[in-house]
């Protein structure tokens, strides 16, 4: 695993290894106000073993919120709360980017009291969000998304401003950079895809028009915080949330060319992570590498061996790991030692649930606990 443990320089940020803790929504923000808190600071601080942490998706406005108890980055109280997190990570010599999020049509008035906004007035089929309404075990209750209203020009401009203001607030909170969430069926992804964007103005129709919102958001964020502090997440092969678009690959590759000219820090690929998910074609990786010159991150339930192979062949530069960091705050060290991993202790605690339970109580590896159980050295 030599490549995984190499240091790496990301736009001036020295990373101690090539492990990235991927964004994972955990719904532990304090209410009212969707405010990051000390418990979250402990959670992220524990996982500063990663070369880079990318935070859970963080809404840039009340309108952009789609799930209960997710943190925001649009109020002074939220900025102060995030300062606890960045301080905890930096004290352990880690680096951390904040993921900027607007869910678009993936929401319900039960979450924020507002009708969802989207490129077009098309409801995402078979798509749910969650609230907390006193269900047993503190579980989240899933509710269907509501029909959105198509954004007018002024609302598009407002959303662009919100991304830029969120980026400014993130840097004020001490983050090393920001990641624009353009993946997984949320607002920017909705603009990118022809099946969720049927607009007839300059933001819809051709692929050049469908990438316009992403490009304008990225330009605004760069103007606010600098290109070296700006990354973008994309998910060309993800189809859930009713996002199956046969034209998405052409749009993604065109967007990559524009993002390359803008010289952003990285593109982060969210890749399908279920057992029977389609393999990512080698030709896609080669083409993206040709079109985008800076750092490429790939996330999607990869084994360390698969990660090492991708790095060794220069297909990507950093590898994101999600669930393994969720349950193993010392995941890189466990990989280095080839020792057992913690499993998810209670699925009820994945989203909200028991506060610290299933969140900050996952143990670090202790050799004494595994006497006689260690696998042979490879």
User: What residues are annotated to the active site?
Assistant: 186
Residue 227 Cα distances to 223, 261, 274, 350, angstroms: 8, 11, 33, 34
225: CB partners within 8 A, 6+ apart: 167, 168, 170, 171, 177, 178
- Under a CB-based contact definition with an 8 Å cutoff, are residues 81 and 75 in contact? no
> Rounded CA gap, 2 and 151, in Å?
48
> Rounded CA gap, 69 and 303, in Å?
31
- Under a CB-based contact definition with an 8 Å cutoff, are residues 327 and 342 in contact? yes
In DSSP terms, which residues pair with 35 in a beta bridge? 30
Pairing assessment for the beta strands 177-181 and 230-234 based on DSSP bridges: parallel
Cis? peptide before 83, omega within 30° of 0: no
- Under a CB-based contact definition with an 8 Å cutoff, are residues 184 and 238 in contact? yes
- Under a CB-based contact definition with an 8 Å cutoff, are residues 106 and 116 in contact? yes
Given CA atoms 101, 102, 105, 111 in this order, what sign does their dihedral have? positive
Which backbone phi and psi does 280 adopt, to 5 degrees? -80, 120
Pairing assessment for the beta strands 8-10 and 141-144 based on DSSP bridges: unpaired
- Under a CB-based contact definition with an 8 Å cutoff, are residues 149 and 118 in contact? yes
Q: What is the CA radius of gyration of the chain?
A: 20
Which backbone phi and psi does 56 adopt, to 5 degrees? -55, 155
């Amino acid at each position: 695993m030599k490549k995984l443990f190499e240091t790496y320089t990301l736009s001036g940020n020295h990373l101690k290894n090539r492990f990235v803790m991927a964004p994972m929504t955990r719904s532990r923000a304090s209410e009212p106000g969707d405010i990051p808190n000390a418990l979250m600071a402990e959670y992220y601080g524990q996982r500063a073993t990663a070369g880079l942490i990318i935070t859970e998706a963080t809404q840039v406005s009340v309108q952009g919120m789609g799930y209960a108890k997710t943190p925001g980055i649009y109020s002074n109280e939220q900025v102060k709360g995030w300062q606890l997190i960045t301080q905890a990570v930096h004290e352990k010599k880690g680096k951390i980017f904040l993921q900027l999020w607007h869910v678009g049509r993936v929401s319900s008035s039960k979450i924020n009291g507002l009708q969802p906004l989207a490129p077009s007035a098309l409801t995402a089929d078979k798509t749910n969000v969650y609230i907390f309404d006193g269900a047993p075990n503190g579980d989240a209750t899933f509710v269907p998304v509501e029909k959105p209203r198509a954004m007018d020009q002024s609302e598009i401009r407002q959303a662009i401003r919100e991304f830029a203001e969120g980026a400014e607030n993130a840097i004020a909170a001490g983050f090393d950079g920001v990641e624009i969430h353009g993946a997984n069926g949320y607002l920017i992804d909705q603009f990118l895809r022809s099946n969720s964007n049927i607009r007839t103005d300059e933001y819809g129709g051709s692929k050049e028009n469908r990438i316009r919102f992403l490009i304008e958001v990225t330009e605004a964020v760069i103007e606010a915080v600098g290109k070296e502090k700006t990354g973008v997440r994309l998910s060309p092969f993800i189809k859930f949330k009713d996002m199956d678009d046969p034209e998405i690959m052409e749009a993604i590759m065109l967007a990559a060319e524009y993002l390359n000219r803008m010289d952003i820090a990285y593109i982060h690929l969210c890749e399908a992570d279920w057992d029977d998910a389609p393999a990512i074609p080698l030709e896609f990786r080669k083409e993206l590498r040709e079109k985008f010159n800076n750092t490429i991150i790939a996330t999607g339930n990869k084994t360390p061996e698969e990660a090492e192979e991708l790095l060794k062949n220069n297909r990507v530069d950093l590898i994101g790991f999600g669930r393994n960091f969720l349950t193993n705050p010392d995941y890189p060290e466990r990989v280095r030692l080839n020792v057992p991993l913690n499993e998810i202790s209670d699925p009820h605690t994945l989203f909200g649930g028991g506060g610290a339970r299933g969140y900050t109580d996952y143990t670090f590896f202790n050799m004494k606990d595994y006497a006689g159980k260690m696998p042979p050295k490879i």
